């Protein structure tokens, strides 16, 4: 979701904290999804570069597909999001980018072995120092062929991250997600989970500008502020 913008900037109080308001509402939504038992895992991520964050918060859910239709889950979350962030109530507007994604590729270090009841949970394995490098890409319809996806390590920057991110960051997993919409442009989401990223952000501070210099997609540093 994009930063909150006041409906009437002239009436905006200098004491207002739209970022805190946005975080509180997003947290409420995550709690509702958790209580609905339609997702096996979820987390709310906060951007650590607040002054220049295009997406200050990202909500990520793993759907329980054994008992929930993904399309219905998407419709429910979309409706709840629009309702909770209704401009008439919040006095702010924001752009919400919601989509369904499927996992198309993944690299793990070390190999992850989870119990059956832990599969899909984003909370398992997380530590207070866990952080994420997230990149978002938009690909024109028809350009997302098999050959294109086979080269995902290069155009996503995953190869650069795997090779040059210092081991002190504790890289655990790099996962590529693709939007499942049948029509229109495709969105790709690259999620890099690092167990010790928050212990020393300088490990990523040098790599992030190099990823952005490729002028391909959006890249940001995130930390989990709420998970289940």
pLDDT at 189 over 90: yes
pLDDT of res. 112:
59
pLDDT of res. 26:
97
Cis amide bond preceding 39, omega within 30: no
Domain count, the chain: 1
Task: Considering only CA atoms, give the Rg of the chain.
Answer: 18
Give the number of other CB atoms < 10 A from CB of residue 75: 12
pLDDT at 93 over 90: yes
pLDDT digits (tens, 9 = 90+) for 99-136: 999 999 999 876 555 555 555 556 666 889 999 999 99
pLDDT at 85 over 70: yes
Query: Rounded to an integer, what distance in angstroms lies between the CA atom of residue 204 and that of residue 115?
Result: 31
pLDDT of res. 218:
93
DSSP state of 67: T
Q: What range does the domain containing 16 cover?
A: 5-227
- Tell me what the pLDDT averaged over the chain comes to: 91
Q: Which CATH number characterizes residue 56's domain?
A: 3.30.70
pLDDT digits (tens, 9 = 90+) for 196-221: 999 989 878 889 999 998 888 899 99
Put residue 120 in one of left, alpha, beta given phi > 0 → left and psi -120 to 50 → alpha: left
pLDDT of res. 124:
67
The β-bridge relationship of strands 101-108 and 57-63 is unpaired
């Amino acid at each position: 979701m994009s930063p909150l913008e006041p409906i009437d900037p002239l009436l905006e109080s200098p004491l207002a904290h739209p970022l805190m308001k946005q975080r509180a509402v997003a947290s409420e939504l995550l709690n509702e999804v958790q209580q609905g038992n339609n997702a096996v895992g979820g987390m709310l991520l906060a951007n650590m570069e607040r002054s220049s964050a295009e997406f200050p918060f990202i909500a990520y859910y793993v759907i329980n597909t054994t008992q929930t239709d993904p399309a219905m889950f998407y419709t429910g979350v979309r409706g709840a999001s629009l309702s909770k962030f209704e401009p008439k109530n919040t006095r702010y507007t924001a752009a919400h980018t919601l989509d369904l994604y499927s996992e198309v590729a993944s690299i793990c270090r070390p190999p992850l072995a989870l119990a059956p009841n832990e599969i899909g949970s984003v909370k398992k394995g997380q530590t207070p120092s866990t952080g994420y490098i997230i990149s978002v890409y938009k690909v024109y319809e028809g350009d997302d062929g098999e050959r294109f996806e086979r080269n995902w390590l290069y155009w996503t920057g995953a190869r650069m991250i795997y090779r040059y991110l210092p081991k002190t960051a504790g890289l655990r997993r790099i996962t590529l997600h693709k939007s499942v919409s049948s029509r229109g442009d495709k969105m790709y989401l690259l999620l890099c989970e690092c167990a010790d990223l928050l212990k020393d952000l300088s490990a990523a501070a040098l790599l992030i500008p190099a990823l952005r210099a490729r002028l391909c997609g959006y890249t940001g540093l995130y930390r989990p502020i709420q998970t289940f």
